[in-house]
Amino acid sequence: MSQAKPYRGRSVVVAFVLVLGFGAVLSRLIDLQILQAAKLGEKAEQQHHKAAVVEGRRGGIYDRQGRILAMNMEVPSVYGVPTSVEHPGRVARDLTRVLPVRADEIERKLRQKRNFVWIARKLDPERGRRVESLSLRGIGTVIEGRRFYPKRPLLSHVLGFTGLDGHGLEGIERRYESTLRGHSRRVILQRDALGRTVFPKGLSELGPHSGNDISLTIDEVIQYVAEKELLDAVNTSGAKGGVVIVMEPTSGEVLAMAVNPRFDPNAVRSLSADSWRNRAVTDAYEPGSTLKIVIAAAALEEKLMTPSSMVFAENGRMLVANTVIHDHEKSGWLTFADVIRRSSNIGAVKIATRLGEERVHRYLRAFGFGERTEIDLPGETAGLVKSPEAWGERTLASIAIGQGIGVTAVQLATAVSAVANGGWLMKPYLVSAIRDQQGRLIAQVSPQVRRRPITAETARVLSKILESVVREGTGRRAAVPSYRVAGKTGTAQKYDLEANAYSSTRFVASFVGYVPARDPRLTIVVVIDEPQGEAWGGVVAAPVFRRVAEQVLPYLGISTHAPVELALVTTG
């Protein structure tokens, strides 16, 4: 009996210790499961789920036939979860062997007190696979959209490009950023028990956050022809560059806009802004004799001249404001039609003098010079047309021969289209339709009339004169077999700012015209910047017009006498 008491004492002690132990465990369970449940649940959520912001899919850009010009490619991006990386320096060294990022930059990001950081975005798929094969704790990949231009330099100045964040920086990409851009989405990255990140399934699938698709008025085939012929002309003449615009004169739709030199929008990081500037809308130049079209239109509209009116050309030399104006041919009396056909500077100056400063200025503005065309591209300039109050003694004469005024190629295209279509100045445009990702039409663009600078009768008479320019005048090399062509050549000296005078060696050669002359379907502007050797517009630029037209006309199925209806929508 005496020995049983010590055993009972020990049992009591053990029981007491067990009760205390169970009490402590129970207390801890109550604390964890009830009192701290919300806080610990949030902490667990943070350990297994990380938030990231990813852009929605950007809309595509298509030509008028539905051919893809800009699209998104699904490519990997690499991210890090700094709070899960145990050895930032070691991880950074491992990653830099795979990624085009310096080790110190990666390490700096991984040492931040953040739950998520981008390490390298929009990589080649092979780099993404190599990162995944490293199986680094706290490092993962996610699929994002990278902008891709499958035609490479084709239409590069019109399309523009996007930045690393997917936002449009130039061209259509910039002008229609809000339309193309997909909305940002906050997504949750899930991590398994081993710390590996599992990206949610279906994130890259199309959804309501995607941007809209855009259809252009551009035709890829016509664009290719324009760029090829421009490139050949620039190379052959040793020019600095050039522009070719192909426009539908009755609507203002731009079928092609070629700018040389070109660039690849898939690789712009090493290029300067000068490389991707769209000179067709941003650069003003002195148009030379192509501007005589406007002077002639004004004289006909004001009934100061008829095709047979006589003008004395002073035998090729005339003094104006203590300066001498020359003609390339010595002529006496010329008809008004001959002044345009032979591109007589003296004849044009005399016609402009009869019109007077106020009327010349009014018609320049009526044809759209000195103001933006409002084409749907960023960076358009208004050119330069001074008010008559700022003109000097020589200004009127200079403008008559296309000097002392700055125009853009797109301004010239729309101005001459107004002659081609019977007197209507149209608003040029590049985007014809906008659709959502399911193909539903959101917006349709219609032709818009800006104003009417001349009557149909003036346009008809002037067209006949411009036909004779190509048939027997300075524009003979623009003639297209079996088609009637109307147009005008231009050769302008460039102004040398250092010498404060016009250069005797640097020129802009140009040709602008439309075809078929009686039922115009195409307006084509060709501008060649600083050609070497023979720099006449009729020699350098007119053949480009011909080569473009003789390929595009049959491609569009345009016969020599096909009638065309003028369908216009006026702006209220």
How far is C-alpha 166 from the chain's CA centre?
A: 16
Helix axes 357-366, 345-355, angle to 10 degrees: 100
Position 519: which residue type? Answer: D
Residue environment code for 202-233, b if the CB has 16+ CB neighbours within 10 A, otherwise e:
ebbeeeeebbbbbbbbbbbbbbbbbbbbbbeb
- Other Cβ atoms within 10 Å of 236 Cβ, number: 15
DSSP assignment letter at 66: S
Does 289 qualify as catalytic in the annotation?
yes
Among the listed residues 328, 333, 301, 302, the one whose alpha carbon sits nearest the alpha carbon of residue 316: 328
Q: Are 285 and 492 in contact (CB under 8 A)?
A: yes
- In angstroms, the CA 567 to CA 572 distance is 16
CA dihedral 479, 485, 491, 494 (to 10 degrees): -120
DSSP assignment letter at 44: H
How buried is 324 (Cβ within 10 angstroms: 0-12 exposed, 13-18 middle, 19+ buried)? exposed
- Other Cβ atoms within 10 Å of 170 Cβ, number: 24
Residue environment code for 492-526, b if the CB has 16+ CB neighbours within 10 A, otherwise e:
bbeeeeeeeeeeeebbbbbbbbbbbbbbbbbbbbb
Position 455: which residue type? Answer: T
Alpha-carbon Rg of the chain, whole angstroms?
35
With H, G, I as helix, E, B as strand and everything else as coil, classify residue 461: helix
Which listed residue (289, 343, 463, 510) is catalytic?
289
- In angstroms, the CA 420 to CA 512 distance is 11
**Which alpha helices (H) appear in 176-291, and where do they start and end?**
177-180, 220-237, 273-276, 279-282
Please, which residues have CB within 8 angstroms of residue 443's CB and are 6 or more apart in sequence?
433, 434
DSSP assignment letter at 422: T
Q: What is the pairing mode between strands 431-435 and 323-326?
A: unpaired
The dihedral of CA 404, 410, 416, 422: what is its sign? negative
With H, G, I as helix, E, B as strand and everything else as coil, classify residue 507: strand
Q: What stretches of 413-479 adopt beta strand conformation (E)?
A: 425-426, 431-435, 441-444, 449-451
Residues with a catalytic annotation lie at 289
